[in-house]
Amino acid sequence: MTTSLPATVSYLATVCDWYSSHARDLPWRHADATPWSILVSEVMLQQTPVSRVLPAHAAWLRRWPEPAALAAASAADAVRQWDRLGYPRRAVRLHASAVLMTTRYGGHVPATADQLRSLPGVGAYTAAAVASFAFGERQAVLDTNVRRVLARLVIGAARPAPALTVAERQLAERLLPAGGALAARWSVGIMELGALVCTAARPRCDHCPLAGRCAWVRLGRPAAPSRRPAPGYHGSDRHCRGHLLAVLRGAAGPVPAATLEAAWPEAAQRARALGGLIDDGLVTRGADGSLALPGDAERASATS
CA atoms of 135 and 161, how far apart (whole Å): 30
Q: How long is the chain?
A: 304
CA atoms of 92 and 99, how far apart (whole Å): 11
Answer whether 42's CB lies under 8 Å from 60's CB. Answer: no
Name the active-site residue from 42, 137, 168, 192: 42
**CA-wise closest residue to 216 among 192, 198, 190:** 198
**42 has catalytic annotation:** yes
**197 Cβ contact partners less than 8 Å away, ≥ 6 residues apart:** 203, 204, 205, 207, 208
Active-site amino acid positions: 42
